[in-house]
Every structure is written in structure tokens, then in C-alpha cells.
Structure 1
Amino acid sequence: MTTATVLAAELTRSRLSATIGELTQLLYRSAYSTLMRESRDCSISLLSEKGEVLVDRPGPFHGSSYNYLIRRVIERYDDLAPGDVFMTNHPYDAGVPHTPDLAVVVPAFAGDTLVGFSASIAHKSDFGGSVIGSASMDATQLYQEGLLLPVTRVARGADAELDPGVMGIIAANVRTPDLFFGDMRAQLGVTRVGAARLSALAERTGVRVLRDCFAMLLDQGERALRDAISSWPDGEATVTGYLDSDGIRDRPVRITVTARIQGDGMVFDLTESDDQTLGPVNMTRMYGDSAVFYAVISCAAPDFGFNDGIRRVVTIERRPGSLFDPGPTAPVGAATSMQHRLVDLCFEALGELVPGAGSAHSGGSGGTVGIEWASSEQRGRSFQYEVLGTGMGAVHDSDGVSGVTAYYTNLGITPVEVLESQYPVRINRFELVTDSGGAGRYRGGLSYRREYEALAPASVRRRSERGKFPARGVAGGQDGSLATVSIRRADGTVESLPVAGRYELHPHDLLTIEGSGAGGYGDPKTRPAELVLADVRAGIVSVPAAAQAYGVVIDERVELDEQATELARRESR
């Protein structure tokens, strides 16, 4: 390997990373919907001619889906040409997480030579199906979760228009076509720009040099991960966790993860998890890959990030017909809930094997809120779709982060001002919930409370969990708080509701949603009393919780009572 080759590879990495970052911002800025523009539930990648992910960027982690997506395009079409455009939203045929996610693929050429692909995946507010928003907790079959578009060529050749037949089929199946096609054309335009940038890079470096650089980047990804894992002790750990239910049957869903470190490689065994569910919490193989890879990279090679070289290092074992290898018609619309729990358990298993690795459990997905507003004199019928956050679990040397979308979803929470300007709603409260983070030497992240006042009749559909099983603390840390949902009716009556389901709102009803807090790390009684006092003053921890969970006594002046604290902690020991 010559110095010139290494330099070329590093320059290629830098250019790819910078280009993907630029294109990601273009996706956000050109989108129509709040889901893409504000929540930023979209991503883009530039891949090799074989469909290998080379570098990743912050954003929803779709990396493991892209590899499968491009391989399906290559398998189906052997006559790729400049200007071709492919689209799909099929979770099993194309590897996207669930049906509301539209994937767009554009091949890149240098002359007549295929040099790579530009591809994007973006969540649409609606893609048909039995309910607005497509994904719900009520689905029992994939067909109920929206129109299914297999990998399809929708434009052929340079300057070709999108196939009017395919576009007509989509338009006839989505409830908000203007919003859908606005987002879709923004996504298509940015993906085409990505292909043009990749072609320009190939023209600049030469095809052979570029392919050598791609191979070297994949080798570097493999080597970075192997070097880290080889420094870890060999061993095996098994952990189990639960989802509240699958949305249909009111019984817990069991997830079991066994992690094995063997030399410079790892195995994650998911075969002991429950069978596939009737409800939509199943995960396709491709989406399950993303959760496992994220956990490993976060612990072993966070500075390097993801590329497909790590597939040579990490093996994932599944059982056909189970949660993580379901049959081809099993619903997957709420797989994000499963995704968070799988990451939690991977981190917990790694923490048992590797000192300082892993974390306490997160608050979970935070849930989605879809609100269909009825017509009024001021506004027509509209659909509000939000992604909400929770908190990150504490780690061995740091508190968890509060009020964020946990793990690699990395999405934004729609601002209050945007919601109130676009929909008949008033947000009366949006705040962090005191004491929601699990106590520990390092405290879990706090979750949110959001209160909606309906200004028109509405139907709410919510996908969420952690109403029964809290975020687990580790190494002596305490669990986070549970999620809750309630409605205060206009007459003053209050209804406590399941954290996932369908709710009907009338004008001036108050819908209050609280996410679940994250778990703590380590014995709370070992947290420095000064930090507990600072948390009390900041409204993060209440005075009673400071005494009960941390053994720290705060007086009426909100000052530390050192003598009482020393006595309380001595007695607790």
C-alpha cells in the first residue's frame, strides 16, 4: 500500500463525508413536511458500485438498509444507465425500516462505467394503508401499513420524466398527495445531485483509483473494529428485556440478546427472543442489523463510524419466524420501539463483558403522535405528525442526556411555534419532568411532558411503549420513570389512557403526554452531594427524591444539610 494510495483514500473519505453532510442539509431545507424539515427523519448516502456504505453522517441510521437496497436494485436490473431512478418503500423487498419510508436510488456513472450509487431514505407523513400516517399499533398484516412499492424503475435514461403510471398509483393511495410529492421531489432532486457529485469524483480521480479507495475505506472500517474488539476480554453475556405488548395482544414481548466476544470478532445471538408478533413490533433483518451495529460501533469505534467493512467482524444470529426474522407479511410499522429495546440490551450485554462499555437503558423511542384535525372555518382538514424524544441512559462516567431522541434515530422535536402556526392546536406546556431520570452515581436523562389543547375536533394515533417496563438502571442505578398519557376533558374529568392507541379529542380537551425517563448508572448514594444539590436547584431532582434516592438532605433554604446527609448515607450503608 503506497503513501499515495493512503492519501487518496483519506481525501476520498473527506470528500464523501463533506458531500453527504451538504446533501443532508439540502434534504432538510428543501422538504415540505414538518416530519422531514423539523424532525429530520431522512438520510442520504453515497455508496460503491456494489452498494457498500463507505462513510456515515449524523442522522437516522439507515446504513444497514442501504446495502440491501442497492443489492436488490443490482439483482433486479442488469441494464443500469445514467439518469435511471428507482423507488421503493417495501420493508422486505428493499430493506427500508417500514412502509412510510420512501427510498430513492440513482446510479452514478463515469462515462459508461458504473462507479457507485446515490440513495436516500425519508419518512413520509402518509403512504396509504388502513390509517392516516400508515404505521399504527393496530396493524396485524403488512398490507394494512400502506401501499407496497417493490424496487421499481420510475425513470429510465438521462432527462427522463418520472413514470406517470407509477406516480398515478401512488397519488391514488396517499391521503396527502401534495405533501407527499413535495417531499418526494425534494428527495429526488437531492439524490440526483449526490449521483452527479459521485460521478464528478470518479472523473477527477479515475475509476480504478476510486475503486481502490473504496476498498481501502472498507478495510479500514474492518480493521478499526477488530483492533478495538481484540483488546476486550473474551466472554459471553445474556440479557433479557420486554416491550409492553405488540399493540394487539396485551402481554409482554420478550427480547433476549446473547453477546459473545471471540478474539477480534463478535457474535450477537437473537434466537431466544419471542416468535414474531401479531402486532407491528417485528423487525426485518436489515433494520435489526442497524441496532446491533450501532451498539458495537458506539462502544468500539465511535470516532470511525459505520461502513460495511464491519459486517466482516460482527455476526448476527436469528431464528426464522421470530421477532428479528419475521415472515414476509408480518407488520413492522412500530419496529422503532423494538429497535430501541434491542440497542438497550446490546449495550447492557456489552457492559457486562467490557469494563466501561455500554450504558443504562434509554427512555425509548418517545413515541410518535399523529393528529388528524377535522375541518373548521379557518383551516381545512390537516394531519400533524411528530416524533418525540425521551432521554439517554447514564454511562460509567457521565449523566444521561435529557429530552432527546435516543440513540441513532437522532431526530429533532418539532418546535411549538411551528405546530401552533400550522395546526389548530395550542401547546400549553413543553417541559422536562422532574425525577423522571433514574437515580445513580450518574443520573439518567429526563424525559418530556407535552400538553396539547385541541382547538378543533381531532383523532390522535400514537405509537409508543414503556408504559409498563421502565428503562433499566445498571450497576446499582435505578430505573427511569414510566410513560403516561392522559386527557383532561373540557368538563374537568381526567382519563388515564394507554401510552399507545387511538384517542378522540374535542375542542379545549387537554392531551398530556409524558415520555419515560432513562436509567441511572451506579449506586445513587455515591453521587457527590454537591451534584445532587445542583440538580435540585435546577429542577431536575425534587427535595424528597434527593433524600430518598440519594440520601442527600436539602433544607428549606435549598442548601445542603451536611450533617443530616452524612447520617442518612451512613444509615443507608
Structure 2
Amino acid sequence: MSNLDPVTLTVIQNGLIQVCNEMDLAFVRSAFSPVISEGMDRSDGIYDAHDGALIAQGELGLPVFVGTMQFSTQAVIERVKTHYAGRVDPGDVFIVNDPYLGGTHLMDVRFVKPFFYKGELFAWLANTGHWPDVGGMVPGGFSASATEVEQEGLRLPPVKFFKKGEMDQEILSIILSNIRIADQRIGDIKAQAAALATGEQRLTALIDRYGAEVVRQAIGEMRHRAERQMRARIADIPDGVYEGSSQVDSDGVVDQPLTIRMKITKKGEDLTFDMTGSSPPCRGPMNSVIATTKSAIYLAIKHVFPDVPINAGTFEPLHIIEPEGTFLYARYPRPVSGCAAEVSQRIAEAVFAALTQAIPDLLFAAPAGTSGNLGVGGYDPERQRSYIMYLFTGGGYGGFQGGDGLSNGCSTIGISKMPPVEVLEQFYPVLFEEFSLREGSGGAGEFRGGFGINYAIRLRRGEARVSMVMDHGRTGPQGVLGGQDGSTNTVLVTQGDKSYRPPHLSKDQDIEIGAGDVVRVSTPGGGGFGDPTRRRPELIAQDIARGYYTPEQAREKFGFQAAAE
């Protein structure tokens, strides 16, 4: 046990988080790509010098990276031992995006930097940024029909990209020769490296103030207390076995659903997660690497117990039986582009469905559960340059005990927000003809689900290719305790006088569009919570007054009480 006084411990804990927050802000403010600078699809953290365990992560970072970044840092540590004789120098920065080495999909590129204090390796600093393109079959990397990882883009094992502070120009040349719009990528690379440099400066100042030994004691105590807090929350869950499930629409290649079967065993202060009954590995890109599968469990439990601080201690009471032989444990060369953005949300949904039986007052119906990944790549004849627009969108949250779900909330896995339409229209030759609330899309319940959105993008000039990896097109987000499911995701492409819907509903690639063609998407609403007939009449009347439902729709969804229009 540490002999630190509570005030010093709290100050250091918040100081470490602030270091990560400043890295996040430095990254966002200097990045070139709207997906990072506006959408904030990135994360920064501090990790243990010896085992890569999470010490602190920024409050602005994506939750799905909480688990995966410590696994990728561990992969770098192993690489240093085996390929660099255990030696690293100040200013070294490793780059890695290999999904099978603690990653997600190839577009999430990680930088990992050793942090030295007075000549001694004290910790690792790491960040992840979503690059708009890393090569592969389609612009943006979200290939819906990839059957091997090589078709998804350039895969990088942990290599020293910066050596003693100097960027390796040969590695840079290899990267830029294998990705689209390469001339624009250097801005993101420098921003990512600059964020780590900011973290180095701020962490040095923190240790200068309190001393290395005191900060080490604080890190150990933070980990111990996070574990104790998580165990205390788990102890309140009744002992037992709880089961839930969720479905992925299809893998993009075989038009059949994939099922996640979740069995959670609660005993004492521990939770054990068993997904071994899930569907086998799939041909298409909806396989999940084990780091993402585990991270999805972590973020799901953090949703349930948001007050527990995030560090390696938070995860100690969570025991995951590795689901080998299923699509949730992808091995090379299985394609994985949909794992972090989509499959992880289905895993979280299965956790929510299982635990709602045990602790309904702390849970909620299923959220929209899709990032709505849409890639548009083409050539702009007016600006005479190629472009790739990557877009993700929000949807409805599930209803919960005491309230309706949030409308147009961000995805389960992150706090990323869709880049503003005004920014996208400035960067790319598109016009948003519609961006509206998808009224009535939330599942009916005593507390209804929140609503998704509708948007329509018209190509203004040139030609382009459209690809998408989305989900919840076959079934809507689950309602619970008698609540109804939310509306499904829909996609419609208008090409001249013809209309096209993807055969796989939520996944497709290389749809050719020309000037004047329109892509329309409607995102899912959240599931309903509780019996719809128990919804208070004044809330139904309020929804009708706001235009969310017509009186006829309200009567159909909520039963006899809705007649009090």
C-alpha cells in the first residue's frame, strides 16, 4: 500500500489525465484530415514501461482504444526485445497498424514512443489516429467484400519510424507509395508525432514537480484503487449466469447473419465472459481481432460503471475466455476492417442484453450500434486533385429506466462526432441536400429509444466510388423488458433515374456515381425500454406535438393510451 496522502494522489492522477488530454488537443489542432481534426477519431495514452499496461488515457479519447492501445504497446515492447536487443533511444517512435498485434483495423495507425526521465525508461506514450486511407481495394479502406487482409491496405509491423527524433525517409517513402492522396498524409503524420512530443514535455514537468518515485507510487495506487472500485461495483450484481446475444447483418461476402452469443458468469467480485458459442470465422471483413474483442468488453462494462477510473486495474476483475474458433478471434489472413467500428458494438450490445436481466436499473436498451462508415473517393476536376471523404454518423441511444434515449448520439465505441457538413462541403465536391432527425425511428417503450438521422449527399462534379461498412440493416437495435426494437439502417443510391439498394443492406463497395447522383442514408434509432403501453400519456402527447409521430403512428406504437392526442 502507498503512503501517499489523498490530495497528492488525486493531483497526480488528474495530472496524468491532463497530460493525455493535452496530447489529444495537440493532435486534433494540428491534424490535416477532417476525420481527426473535426471528427476526433483518435486517442492518446500513457503506458507502463515494462508490460504496456494502461496508466492513463485522455478524457477525449475513443473508448474502444482503451484496451487495444495497451495490447499494441505490448507488441512494441516484444518487438524491442526480439529485434532491437531491448534497446530504444530518446526520440524513437514506432509505427504499427497490424491488426493481429493488438490493433483494430488497418486505418487506425498507432505511434508508440519510449518516455525517458533522467536517462531511465519511465513509461511509453502512444496514440492512435484514423488515417483516411491506407491503400487496399477501395478508397478509405472499408472494403465490404475483402476476403484477406492484404486487400484492406498496407499492414505495418512495429518499426522505428523516427530514430532519435529523425523521421526515417525510407519508411516514409514505402508508406506514401502504398496509400492514396499520399501528399496530404504528411500533415497527419507530423501531428501525430507532435502530440507525443507534447506529452513528453508535460509528463516531464509533472515528474519534475513531484519526483519519479512519488509518481510511480501514485500510479501503483491508482491501479489498486481502480480495481477495488470495479470489484465493489461488480459485487452488487447478483451472482448467477446471464446470457444475451446480438447479430451482425452479414460479413459483406456471404449474405447471412453472424451471431454473438454472450454468457456472463458473475461470482463474488469477478465477471467471466464466454463468447465461444458465437459464429465461426467469416469470409468477409467482419472478423474481430482478439484485442478489439477484449476492448469491446472493457468499454461495455465502463458504460455500465462510468464512475470507475480507467487504468489497467479497471480490467482486473474482468475475465475473458478467448473465443478461438469464432469470428471474434481473427487470425491472419482474415479480413478485419469492420471489427472496431462495427463488430465491437455488437459485442457491447450482447453484454448489455445479458446484464439487463441482472441490473435493469443500471442498463438501457441497445443504442444504434453502428458507426455508419461511408467512404467516397474520386477526382475533383475543378481543383484537379484526388480526394477521399470518410464519414461516420450518429444514431439513437436506447431508452433507460427513467428516461428516453438520446437522439443522434455518437457510437457506442467512441466520442467521435461527425465532421460538420459545412467542413465536408468545403473539402470535397459534395452537397448535403438533407441532414435531419429521423423522426419515429426509436423503439417504442415506456421509455422510447432516441432517433437516428437522415442525410443525403449529392456529388457536385466529377465521378466517384462509394463504399460502406455499416450494420443493423437486417435487424434494429434491441429493445429490452418489453420495449420494441429501433428502426434499421437503410441505404439508397440514386444514379440518374435509377435507384440502387445494397444487396447486403448495410455493406457494399465500388458503387460508381457521377455528378448529380445522390447517396441517402438513414441511421438506426435506439431500442425501447419497458412495455410501450405503460408510457405516460403526457409524454406521448409531447412527442406528437413535436412532430416525432403522427397520432396514428403513436397509437400504433404505444397502444390505446395514444388515443389521448
Deviates more, 1:272-281 or 1:48-57: 48-57
The equivalent position to 2:440 in structure 1, one of 432, 435, 449, is 435
| 1:247 alignment counterpart | 252
> How much has 1:325 moved relative to structure 2?
1.4
CA contact (8 A) 1:115 1:199 kept: no
CA contact (8 A) 2:26 2:198 kept: no
> How much has 1:3 moved relative to structure 2?
5.6
Determine whether 1:420 maps to 2:436: no
The amino acid of 1:253's aligned partner reads L
Deviations along 1:420-447, one digit per CA (max 9) or x if unpaired, are 2222211111011111000111111111
Determine whether 1:320 maps to 2:327: no
CA contact (8 A) 1:116 1:198 kept: no
CA contact (8 A) 1:373 1:381 kept: yes
> How much has 1:539 moved relative to structure 2?
2.3
The amino acid of 2:142's aligned partner reads A
Deviations along 1:215-247, one digit per CA (max 9) or x if unpaired, are 111101100000111122101111222111101
> How much has 1:47 moved relative to structure 2?
2.2
Deviates more, 1:320-329 or 1:493-502: 493-502
Which whole-Å CA distance do the structure 2 matches of 1:294 and 1:488 have between them?
Answer: 37
Deviates more, 1:430-439 or 1:70-79: 70-79
Map 1:23-172 onto structure 2 (within 5 A): 23-50=23-50, 51-56=52-57, 57-61=59-63, 62-77=65-80, 78-93=86-101, 95-157=102-164, 160-172=165-177
Which whole-Å CA distance do the structure 1 matches of 2:133 and 2:488 have between them?
Answer: 29
Deviations along 1:471-504, one digit per CA (max 9) or x if unpaired, are 110001011111111133433x433333221322
> How much has 1:2 moved relative to structure 2?
6.0
| 2:526 alignment counterpart | 518
CA contact (8 A) 2:265 2:271 kept: yes
Larger RCO of the pair (alpha carbons < 8 Å, separation 6+): 2
The amino acid of 2:491's aligned partner reads V
The amino acid of 1:418's aligned partner reads V
> How much has 1:286 moved relative to structure 2?
1.0
CA contact (8 A) 1:236 1:353 kept: no
Map 1:145-294 onto structure 2 (within 5 A): 145-157=152-164, 160-294=165-299
| 1:566 alignment counterpart | none
Q: Percent identity among equivalent residues?
A: 30
CA contact (8 A) 2:54 2:312 kept: yes
Q: Secondary structure of the equivalent of 2:259?
A: strand
Question: Structure 1 pair 361/529, CA: closer, same or farther in 2 (3 Å)?
Answer: same
Question: Structure 1 pair 381/5, CA: closer, same or farther in 2 (3 Å)?
Answer: same
The equivalent position to 2:473 in structure 1, one of 460, 464, 467, is 467
| 1:567 alignment counterpart | none
Deviations along 1:286-335, one digit per CA (max 9) or x if unpaired, are 111111111212223x1123211123210011232312212222111011
Question: Structure 1 pair 360/553, CA: closer, same or farther in 2 (3 Å)?
Answer: closer
> How much has 1:351 moved relative to structure 2?
0.9
Which whole-Å CA distance do the structure 2 matches of 1:121 and 1:2 have between them?
Answer: 32
Q: Secondary structure of the equivalent of 2:246?
A: strand
Q: Secondary structure of the equivalent of 2:225?
A: helix
> How much has 1:390 moved relative to structure 2?
1.3
Give unmatched runs, 5+ long, in structure 1.
562-573
> How much has 1:41 moved relative to structure 2?
0.5
Which whole-Å CA distance do the structure 1 matches of 2:534 and 2:360 have between them?
Answer: 19
> How much has 1:379 moved relative to structure 2?
4.6
Which whole-Å CA distance do the structure 1 matches of 2:2 and 2:293 have between them?
Answer: 38
| 1:569 alignment counterpart | none
Which whole-Å CA distance do the structure 1 matches of 2:74 and 2:489 have between them?
Answer: 40
Deviations along 1:197-223, one digit per CA (max 9) or x if unpaired, are 223322332222221111111101100
Which whole-Å CA distance do the structure 2 matches of 1:70 and 1:489 have between them?
Answer: 46
Which whole-Å CA distance do the structure 2 matches of 1:400 and 1:305 have between them?
Answer: 25
- State the TM-score, normalizing by the size of structure 2: 0.94
Determine whether 1:359 maps to 2:364: yes
- State the TM-score, normalizing by the size of structure 1: 0.93
| 1:477 alignment counterpart | 483
Which whole-Å CA distance do the structure 2 matches of 1:156 and 1:118 have between them?
Answer: 15
The amino acid of 1:92's aligned partner reads Y
Which whole-Å CA distance do the structure 1 matches of 2:384 and 2:455 have between them?
Answer: 23
Question: Structure 1 pair 211/146, CA: closer, same or farther in 2 (3 Å)?
Answer: same
CA contact (8 A) 2:181 2:386 kept: no
CA contact (8 A) 2:245 2:354 kept: no
Which whole-Å CA distance do the structure 1 matches of 2:2 and 2:136 have between them?
Answer: 55
Deviations along 1:96-139, one digit per CA (max 9) or x if unpaired, are 21101110111111111111121100100011122221231111
Which whole-Å CA distance do the structure 1 matches of 2:383 and 2:330 have between them?
Answer: 46
Map 1:323-402 onto structure 2 (within 5 A): 323-335=327-339, 336-402=341-407
Which whole-Å CA distance do the structure 2 matches of 1:530 and 1:27 have between them?
Answer: 47
Question: Structure 1 pair 115/6, CA: closer, same or farther in 2 (3 Å)?
Answer: farther
Q: Secondary structure of the equivalent of 2:166?
A: coil
CA contact (8 A) 2:140 2:389 kept: no
CA contact (8 A) 2:482 2:530 kept: yes
Deviates more, 1:326-335 or 1:218-227: 326-335
Q: Secondary structure of the equivalent of 1:102?
A: strand
Map 1:557-572 onto structure 2 (within 5 A): 560-561=564-565
CA contact (8 A) 1:225 1:297 kept: no
The amino acid of 1:462's aligned partner reads M
The amino acid of 1:72's aligned partner reads A
CA contact (8 A) 1:84 1:107 kept: yes
The amino acid of 2:541's aligned partner reads L
Q: Secondary structure of the equivalent of 2:325?
A: coil
Which whole-Å CA distance do the structure 2 matches of 1:83 and 1:378 have between them?
Answer: 38
